[in-house]
Amino acid sequence: NAGVTQTPKFRILKIGQSMTLQCTQDMNHNYMYWYRQDPGMGLKLIYYSVGAGITDKGEVPNGYNVSRSTTEDFPLRLELAAPSQTSVYFCASSTTGNSGANVLTFGAGSRLTVL
Amino acid sequence: GNSVTQMEGPVTLSEEAFLTINCTYTATGYPSLFWYVQYPGEGLQLLLKATKADDKGSNKGFEATYRKETTSFHLEKGSVQVSDSAVYFCALSIQNQGGKLIFGQGTELSVKP
């Protein structure tokens, strides 16, 4: 099993450019999440999805968009990149989201730099 | 609101030393508590968890006890190894809130031989 796969691993963007971070999981998990990790700040939730066709905002959604057309894929879109979006982005998935005791499986991360 | 506070790092220890990383939480509901570990260049992975008061989670020599009276979930290990060098995150999750994890800021541990 590949688990959660994120692409690209590294990307440099210019201010105002757009891009999509890809996330795919092969575990048939219903719940998927996007977090960003900034130094000394822990992980902040950007968006999450409880199933195909359903998405919801997390703590820091501004400047991002998501879609969930299939169970496997949960892409994160940056429309107008800004330096404040320089971060490491993690996608995660889980199978029993609403129990509260669910365990998230994380991808390896995508490091984005906006210059 | 819900939040997690961890002791600040970095923490530097010698091999075989005792480790404690403090974690306290604030929660409006009844949380499950987790410790995740992030090795250099990797994503996070679950280290241990506890789902109710007085539960003890343990894994790889690490352990943490869910203390409702002090709203704490401190991580301990009796004898650390160089391979334990990583960033450790305390987190909570509330039932029926979409399985979202709320993380502390992370504590970097460096173990020297």
Measured in degrees and rounded to the nearest 5, phi and psi for residue A98 equal -85, 0
Q: Which of B44, B51, B106 sits opposite A101 (nearest CB)?
A: B51
A65-98 per-position pLDDT tens digit: 999 999 999 999 998 999 999 999 999 999 875 6
B-chain CB neighbours of A31 within 8 Å are 98-99
- Average pLDDT (A25-41) is 92
Other Cβ atoms within 10 Å of B101 Cβ, number:
24
Q: How far apart are the first and last CA of chain B?
A: 41
Rounded Cα distance, B47 and B38, in Å: 10
What pLDDT tens digit does each residue of chain B (113 aa) get?
899 999 888 999 999 999 999 999 999 878 999 999 999 888 899 999 999 999 999 999 999 999 999 999 999 999 999 999 999 999 999 887 778 899 999 999 999 99
A-chain CB neighbours of B45 within 8 Å are 106
A42/B46 touch (CB, cutoff 8 Å), yes or no = no
